[in-house]
A and B are shown apart, each in its own frame.
Chain A
Amino acid sequence: MERDFLFIPSEDDEIVPLDGYVIIVEEEYDISLELDPNGIPPTKNLTGVNLIGFSDVNPATARDTLYCVHEDWSEVMGYDAETQQYETSILN
């Protein structure tokens, strides 16, 4: 998806599972995920520092989630929207 860093999404915009998004809102919202079961599983090329998303509806360990790049990643750190803080980072 070619996008500016900041954009206002339209109804037709797709959220790609492996991309990460920073959503800036003025009020609190609940967002439900609608998954396309026939969607093409994306791949995402990674180098250096990356903002990524998660690709399943169920949580999984960092080990399993990043297993396909298990020799290549060094650190992952989540952002907790409720506390508005970064979580403790996980080291490979």
Chain B
Amino acid sequence: MAIDREQLLHVAHLARLELPVEELDRLGAQLNDIIEAVSKVSELDLSDVPATSHPLDVANVWGADEPRPCLTVEEALANAPEREGAFFKVPPGGS
């Protein structure tokens, strides 16, 4: 099934990708080809097959509830594009 331009823009927004017109044109056709190819999985009737989310049969793992050393504020902010005091700084507005 084909994804139209409106859907592409919707998915791009969900993924917080801008995708200007030129890129939409270039990637759009490729994405349709990829979606068509991966849709092959729907050929199989797997209604009674359980899903696999993780390849190992492991139980949940709990960590001890004990304080341990962590990054300092300076380390945590070391790669920040912009900071103010002990905070990451971002432009205002938007969502």
To the question of whether A and B form a pair in one complex, the answer is no
B interface residues (Cβ-Cβ under 8 A, vs A): none
- A: which residues have CB within 8 A of B? none
